[in-house]
Amino acid sequence: MFKKSVATTAVMLLALSLFCTAAFAKVEIKLSNQLPPSHHISKGLVVFAEKVAEYSGGDVTVRIFDSAQLFKDTEIVEALQDGLVEAGLVPVNKWSGMIPAADIFEMPFVFKDFESPKKFLNSGADKLLDGEFQKKGVKNLFWVDYGYIQFFNNKRPLKSPEDFKGLTMRTFSSGDAETLRALGAAPTVMSSSEMYMALQRGTVEGATTGMPAAVSRKIHEVQKYMTMANYTTAQFVVQANLGWWEKLSQAEKDVILKAGLDAEAWIRQAIEASENEAEKVIRDAGVEIHVLSAEERPLFIEATDPVRKAFAEKTGEIGKTLIDMVMAID
């Protein structure tokens, strides 16, 4: 009887051991990050790594490769699709063309404040977009707010669409270029690393960028005016190769997604603080800041309506659904 009891206990312990092994095999996630370790988003990725290790008891770990050690932002989408790395920080606009619906984040004057992207994603947009990304071989782990984009220039305060007429302006994407064209400007897509020199030499007269990026690139040294419009958001997302993701146990997936929510919240509060600090630096540098008034904003919304209509036509039913979701945000 005793021997039978011991044998039964041994079988139970073995089964428990096998269950735990299946739930949490030793997993290392290599995460490609193009930003420097000093950036607040990079610090948020560290939070993600710490939480993954904490929630898994150290069985799942994240190894972050900062400063584009593995892949640049122009390479990360293909690297994820090809399974060259498990996970990476991806600017959503790098999916432009492959997933037209992802351009929703570049639609002008649809997000109203720092809470708007979160509310939009939580309204069902997260699952809808994740489905589109999975069709292309990647899985969304968590969203990363980069902050809002503003208008900078050297010529005049930009208080109405008419003020943009003829201005040559640097932009960060083809989607944002459409917004500038609708306002009457002449956009040129260029990287943030080229922006300072282009503005200093007068190659372009203005630029669209976020305030923290403007400070880090010292744009406030070569620009006289800024219009705080919060007209679009530069959204990032941490994604994983779908084939790799599907091989994980459910327990491992749960840990990663839970840690992602923590990192997402941490980054969101960090970007708001970063925006406030950057605004002070820009103001103290003598840049004249104009905040769009309640009367001025509708004029910009009307002028850029063709951009939103073109998005809806290009993306079909899913685009219309996303537009309805974002416009329904309080």
Predicted local confidence at residue 12, as pLDDT: 38
Instruction: Give the pLDDT of residue 16.
Output: 38
Which of the residues in the chain have pLDDT under 50? 1-22
Instruction: Give every CB contact of residue 98 below 8 A, 6+ residues apart in sequence.
Output: 77, 136
Q: What is the pLDDT of residues 258-276, one digit of tens each?
A: 999 999 999 999 988 889 9
What pLDDT, on the 0 to 100 scale, is given for residue 24?
Answer: 60
pLDDT at position 5, please? 40
pLDDT for the residue 2 = 36
| Contact in structure between 176 and 232 (CB atoms under 8 Å) | yes
pLDDT for 213-254, tens place per residue? 899 889 999 999 999 999 998 899 999 999 999 999 999 999
pLDDT attached to residue 23: 55
Domains by residue range for the chain, with CATH: 2-327 (3.40.190.170)
State residue 9's pLDDT score.
31
State the pTM of this model.
0.81
